[in-house]
Amino acid sequence: MRAVLYVGGFLYRIHRLSAFGRMRKLQQTVHTLEQHTSFERIREAISAGKTTCADLVEHYLENIDKTKDLNAYLEVYADEARETAKQVDKKIVAGTAGKLAGMVVSLKDVLCHKDHGLQGASKILDGFESQFTGTAVQRLIDEDAVIIGRVNCDEFAMGSGNENSAFGPTRNPIDPERVPGGSSGASAAAVKADTCLVSIGSDTGGSVRQPAAFCDVVGLKPTYSRISRYGLTAYASSFDTVGVLANSVEDASIVLEVMAGQDDYDSTVSRKPVPEYSKLLGFDKKVKVAYMKETLESEGLSDEIKEKTLAKIEALRKAGHTVEEVSFPWLDYLLPTYYILTMAEASSNLSRFDGVRYGYRSPNTTDLESMYKKSRSEGFGEEVKRRIMLGTFVLSASYYDAYYTKAQKVRRLIKDYTEKLLGEYDFVVLPTTPTTAFKIGSHAKSDPVTTFLEDLYTVQASVSGLPAISVPNGHDQNGLPVGIQVMAGAFKEADMLAFAKYLSTL
Ligand code: GLN
């Protein structure tokens, strides 16, 4: 009974998420980082004989070493990266190199890479190594990208601050007292700290876009099913997408075009042809853009982020685009819907971690049942356990209709509304996050709901399965980065990327 009251009360709080107050004002001096380069410039430098892939790997390895305190990398494949770089350099000379020759990439610890460790930043996968390479990663390797290491994240991608990792939090390179966002926080930090050119993350409810905003980089979540999920550790399968963190829209585009497309190993992946996104970034037309009144009126939105979003909206108007305010009646229902459904899916997906076949097994067990219970109790962290319990609860016979079925219905309403909106307008523009990066430890552990609020603006695209991108939109008074988000219709990545690039220049 107590358990029911606990989860019931908790779900009620999730339900009330809309009514939250403004987060604490942020004050901190911001560290300035050296300018980052782009893949195009890297390619030019390679062609001009000014650098080699081997030099680039050394450069990143040095930076990884210099920025160790960020706790971004869980493993660095130094020797292997050096060796691959040598091979790529030979191919470049021979004129047989792939599209991504010269690109050095890190992988979030949820992506399978054969014979390399994979833990989902969880103790329960202690010592686990992937037996195969996932499709997205394989396609990068086939085009001669060099994988430099595996980076930290929230445990099984559950979180918004990278604080839920069994390996400890990752720090934001702009201000190490603060989180880099989550769950692909270390991916964003790794790119910002110039320890790799691009990082591959995953976005279930904002995990690529929100850290991108917190770390001043670009974060791209494609349409659900655009990129194969084969080899992506499942969190909530009807939401999960592979995503990209990069310094520029151009870099994100080329990586997307390599990773996307049909795959025999994932029957849910779209068979739609993949455009050459990186060649379609020109933008010279007038478009129709909507912004949702409720997103800007939300109490939790920081004044500065609101002003910066409105400034971009004004700039679009001035440039002759049609920009209109619309009403989004479901804002208050976004987070409850997202969290009920993802927890339900997670409780099922994570049942495979049972201590029997791989990963952590408790040494203190007496029989089969205690082996399951202790391995899972000791192996999973607090947040993951809470979600498994809540997910099991909303799927239980007595509460299934009240929570799971209802949330599915609301998901449909949100999806229908958003799709209709994107039928009438080319793009929707909204803030990426309600606040800038918060301090490590500032969200009380006993109150995970405060952290859920960070996802207020990112989950709409996830619930609807639509593509979205976060691009930098200046800094607040404390020098902390702010992001702005663009959402587009399903499979409209090419248009969205071109528009996002244009928006960054306004
Ligand atoms: N913060 C959200 C969550 O914890 C999003 C996570 C994600 O996109 N992987 O569910």
For residue 205, the CA-to-ligand 1 centroid distance in Å is 5
Report yes or no on 52 lying in a domain: yes
| C-beta separation of 116 from 77 below 8 A | yes
Is residue 368 included in any domain, yes or no?
no
Instruction: Verify whether ligand 1 is closer than 6 Å to residue 207 (CB atom).
Output: yes
Domain span holding position 125: 17-279
Q: Are strands 427-431 and 288-292 parallel, antiparallel or unpaired?
A: parallel
Pocket test for ligand 1, best of 17, 110, 153, 154 (most atoms within 8 A of CB): 154
Residue 399 lies in a domain: no
Q: How far is CA 262 from CA 136, 209, 265, 271, in A?
A: 11, 24, 9, 5
Q: Which one is predicted more confidently, 1 or 484?
A: 484
Verify whether ligand 1 is closer than 6 Å to residue 205 (CB atom).
yes
Q: Classify residue 297: in a domain, yes or no.
A: no
Q: For residue 160, report the distance from its CA to the centre of ligand 1, in Å.
A: 6
Residue 313 lies in a domain: no
Residue 132 · residue 115 · CB < 8 Å:
no
Q: Which CATH number covers residue 199?
A: 3.90.1300.10
Q: Is 154 among the domain residues?
A: yes
In a domain, 384, yes or no: no
pLDDT at site 391: 97
Residue 82 lies in a domain: yes
Q: What does the pLDDT average to over 48-57?
A: 94
Name the 3-class secondary structure at 52.
coil
Task: In whole angstroms, give the CA distance from residue 123 to residue 135.
Answer: 25
Residue 16: predicted pLDDT: 52
Collapse the DSSP code of 285 into the 3-class scheme (helix H, G, I; strand E, B; otherwise coil) and give the result.
Answer: coil
Average pLDDT, the chain: 92
Beta strands in 54-207 (DSSP E): 73-76, 104-108, 146-151, 198-203
Model confidence pLDDT, tens digit, residues 162-200: 999 999 999 999 999 999 999 999 999 999 999 999 999
Which is nearest to 137 in space by CA: 116, 110, 111? 111
pLDDT at 21 over 60: no
Choose among 265, 219, 263, 266: nearest CA to 243: 219
| Whether the predicted pLDDT of 28 surpasses 50 | no
Q: What angle do CA 391, 488, 98 make, to 5 degrees?
A: 95
Confidence at residue 157, expressed as pLDDT on a 0 to 100 scale: 98
> Which residues form the catalytic set?
108, 183, 207
Q: How far is the CA of 313 from the centre of ligand 1 (A)?
A: 27
Asked if residue 157 has its Cβ within 6 Å of ligand 1, the reply is yes
> What atom in ligand 1 is closest to the CA of residue 182?
1
CA dist list (Å): 285 to 146, 291, 427, 506: 37, 19, 13, 14
Residue nearest (by alpha carbon) to ligand 1 atom 5? 205
Q: How many domains does one find in the chain?
A: 1
pLDDT at 15: 52
**DSSP letter string over 146-168?**
EEEEEE--SGGG--SSS-S-TT-
pLDDT in tens, 342-399: 999 999 999 999 999 889 999 989 999 999 999 999 999 999 999 999 999 999 999 9
Of 421, 434, 411, whose CA–CA distance to 326 is shortest? 421
pLDDT of residue 14: 55
Supply the pLDDT for residue 443. Answer: 83
